[in-house]
Structure 1
Amino acid sequence: MSDRQKGLIQAVDKSFPSAEHRFCVRHIEDNLRSLFKGKLLRDALWKLARCTSPTQYEREMNNLKNLNKRCHLWVSKIPPETWSRSHFSGRAMSDVLTNNMCECFNSKLVDGRDKPIITLLEYIREYVMRKIVTVLKVIDRSSGLLTPYATQIMESVKKEASRYSVHWNGEDHYQVTGPYGDQCVVNMSTSTCACRRWEITGIPCRHVVACIWVKGAQDRSVGRPETFVKPIYTMDRWKAVYSYKVYPINGMSMWPTSQVPIQITAPKLKKQTGRPKKSRKKSAVEREDGGSRKKSKVDAKGKGKAVEGEGQKVKAVRKTKPKGSNTCGTCGQKGHNKRSCMKNFAD
């Protein structure tokens, strides 16, 4: 998952030619905002990203074309297999659309970014060591076949599956019908559903869970719906991932002296003007979302009211004391202050 930088695209294609390279939809939205204005186009972009079937993707693309032909042409140039769930393969078993996982990791390294390289590496090593211990504590408190997150997803899927009816054709195909005209075909022999959610994420969708219940009523050896989840979501796999540890090391004063004759000197540093910035640069989406928050109304009896609106600037009203309300600290009288009190000049 990357932000569509040309250098990253070439590097991934060269270093990992068989990897599935996806683009962050949030960064695609940033690029779209710089060319096309309007919330309708941004919402249409996210609808395209959340589509799970090619038919649904084509329908949303036609809707975008009716809204703006130039925007439709710009979006169509981005390969859909890199940013839309409708064209994702089942290799990764993940339907994430943004690189928030990388952003979360980067946010934990803010305090160590301006440190020297060895200090920065030590900061990362200590953070990863603490993170593994934190996850191991969660694993000890967890129980069941699936991880807590997968269990939460399955519970919500079961609630949705209770509203669906299933028609069996006598083999491995099932027709599942639900509310709002939702009707899909499930093939239990190939572990596929027409909505492609099971294929993309590895977790049975509401159509598949309804089929499992009907099939389980006929054959009790089918098992629970949780047994149809891919092994990557099981507790055993979670424990195996965090079975590797990051070990502590001694301080720099106890490190052995390097026997390499070459000594790498620090590069010449040219100090830039101004204070170094530690906070990251916000994207256009974050800047616009921060400026479009509704301003609170100022209720001060004619002092003025803030105007509510998206992106509107509101002039702040400064509250001042009424004229002649100052109290002198020397004589205690009102109308002047201690500096201009006449008692100071009485002598």
Structure 2
Amino acid sequence: MQRIGIRFDKDANMEPHHLTEYAREELELRGAESRFFYSTPYGGGEYEVRDGNVHFPATRKCGCGVWQVSGIPCKHGLRVIYKQRLSPEDFVSGYFKGAAYKQTHAEHMHQMPDPTQFPKYSLPTINPPGIKRSAGRPPKQRKRGAMEAKKRKRHSSVKCGK
């Protein structure tokens, strides 16, 4: 409950167009990785980054698929955005902006009452199902997993002394 209270207090200071901490950190990290790439314009809003991925910054798509999945521009997309001298914050999904953060944490969550304060009902208590013993002799060893290595047996001859 303390974390929820902290987040509730934090969103009071957040502007609707500001990014969340997670999105800001991801942009910084991916921006640092994008410094070593080169982008070449293809025309029609398409760019190729030296890594070999094709990007469409207008439609917010990238060949690697990270941008589409996460909603935050990938390192290839950031290289194209920086080349066009645009702000990367404009290309981040609305889910990572202050307006969505405020909407998420707007409602209060109340703790559940203590079990001693639960209302009493005249219904019978429900117990877990009983354990049934399977038919047949139980196995001596455990069943090994499909990816688990098989147990190797050591083959050696034993010499008995007289």
TM-score, normalized by length of structure 1? 0.32
State the partner residue of 2:30. Answer: 157
- 1:173, 1:250 → 2: CA distance? 57
Separation of aligned partners in 1, 2:35 and 2:29:
10
Distance 1:173 1:190 in 2: 10
Question: Counterparts of 1:120-159 in structure 2 under 5 Å?
Answer: 127=1, 130-139=2-11, 145-159=18-32
What CA distance in whole angstroms lies between the structure 2 residues aligned with 1:252 and 1:197? 45
Q: Kindly provide the amino acid, as one letter, of the partner of residue 264 in structure 1.
A: L
Structure 1 unaligned spans of 5+: 1-126, 217-222, 270-347
Cα distance in structure 1, aligned partners of 2:127 and 2:32: 63
Shift of 1:140: 5.2
Contact 1:142 1:148 in 2 (8 A): no
Query: Distance in 2 between the 1:140 and 1:198 partners?
Result: 29
Q: Percent sequence identity over matched residues?
A: 21
Q: Which runs of 4+ in 1 moved over 3 A?
A: 137-144, 247-255
Give the strand-richer structure, 1 or 2: 2
SS of 1:211 mapped into structure 2: helix
Task: Write out aligned runs for 1:83-232 (5 A).
Answer: 127=1, 130-139=2-11, 145-177=18-50, 182-216=51-85, 223-232=86-95
**1:280-295 equivalences in 2 (<5 Å):** none
| CA–CA distance in structure 2, aligned partners of residues 156 and 138 of structure 1 | 23
Distance in 1, matches of 2:42 and 2:113, equals: 67
8 A contact 2:12–2:102 mirrored in 1: no
Q: How far does the alpha carbon of each residue in 1:69-88 deviate from its partner, in whole angstroms, 9 at most, with x for none? A: xxxxxxxxxxxxxxxxxxxx
**What letter matches 2:125 in structure 1?**
A
How many corresponding residue pairs?
132
Partner of residue 241 from structure 1, selected from 104, 109, 112: 104
1:244-323 alignment, distance < 5 Å: 244-247=107-110, 263-267=122-126
Aligned-pair Cα RMSD in Å: 3.6
Instruction: Specify which structure has the higher proportion of helix.
Output: 1
TM-score (norm 2): 0.65
CA distance in 2, matches of 1:234, 1:228: 11
Distance 1:133 1:168, change over 3 A: same
2:42, 2:115 → 1: CA distance?
A: 70
Query: Which residue of the partner structure matches residue 23 of structure 1?
Result: none
Contact 1:166 1:175 in 2 (8 A): yes
**Amino acid across the alignment from 1:232:** Y
How far did 1:131 drift? 3.8
Distance 2:117 2:96 in 1: 42
| Deviation, structure 1 residue 188 | 2.1
Residue 191 of structure 1 and its aligned partner are, at CA, apart by 1.6
